[in-house]
Amino acid sequence: MRVDPGATLISEEDFLKFQEYFYRKTGIQFERAKRYFVDKRLIERIEATDSPSFRSYFTMLRFQASGEELQLLTNLMTVNETYFFREAYQFECLVKSILPELTARREKGLPIRIWSIPSSSGEEAYSIAIYLLEFWKGLEDWDIEIISSDIDTKILDAARQGAYSARSIQHLPARVLNKYFKRTAGGYQIGMDLREAVEFTRVNLTEPADTRGYRNFDIIFCRNLLIYFDELSRKRAAETLFDAMRPGGFLCLGHSESMSRISSIYKIRKFPEAIVYQKPLEAR
């Protein structure tokens, strides 16, 4: 059924209601300048669900017990831009500074846990795995767990699939590409060993019920997510990530991201390759 185009017009009042609701559910703050982007996706879902108006769609979105429609809409609203070896100086820092420091004080036997959130289509988590394989001798002596999470279930399926376009792999040296990927009709697919080395899970970083089970991480990469959050969501995210880390754990943010709360609860560590935030060793 096609809905009456007049009925799908989203008024300013409707937009503000939706903006507030979506912010509460995801931490993502849509500026007014994003109206076209938001309206387009809302109208797509209003039509796909045969809803006669924005109002009836919005009621269904809020009260649907399964939450399925909210997930589908969230999948449309997220910005999944990422690529292999993005901001690679932090991966350098991981293998040259962070891991040597961490392993020097860590008793053997306990796995080193790394969390990449948000994962998007998996390039960040797989880049970490490739850096470890290529540049970190410690891999022979230490067990590493890599978990990668995102709010977007569709992009997580893509991450598990590990199939990439030429654009996504363009910063990879040819040697690395040949070693870890196979060519496919549409582009490149990362090898099975690496796909099995990373666990992909759905997590909304702003939902305490989702993050409660995520604990004891030694290193967290949280890059290019906080830019979509407002100051309050950033502050809460800083605290959630703090709770998810072991004392002495390290946090890597995107290059344009900082948050005031970070400076009060984390220690700033200036390594030769990058600035990283650390949960103090004496913290609980």
Chain residues that interact with ligand SAM, rule: CB under 6 A: 26-28, 78-82, 86, 118, 120, 124, 150-152, 155, 203-206, 223-225, 228, 254
C-beta closer to ligand SAM: residue 42 or 77: 77
C-beta closer to ligand SAM: residue 106 or 202: 202
C-beta closer to ligand SAM: residue 16 or 79: 79
- Cα–Cα distance for residue pair 236/208, rounded to 1 Å: 10
CB of 203 to ligand SAM, least distance (A): 6
CB of 55 to ligand SAM, least distance (A): 26
C-beta closer to ligand SAM: residue 8 or 78: 78
Cβ proximity of 159 and 195 under 8 Å: no
CB of 125 to ligand SAM, least distance (A): 9
C-beta closer to ligand SAM: residue 19 or 78: 78
C-beta closer to ligand SAM: residue 81 or 282: 81
Question: What is the gyration radius of the CA atoms in the chain, in angstroms?
Answer: 21
CB of 283 to ligand SAM, least distance (A): 24
CB of 1 to ligand SAM, least distance (A): 30
CB of 227 to ligand SAM, least distance (A): 8
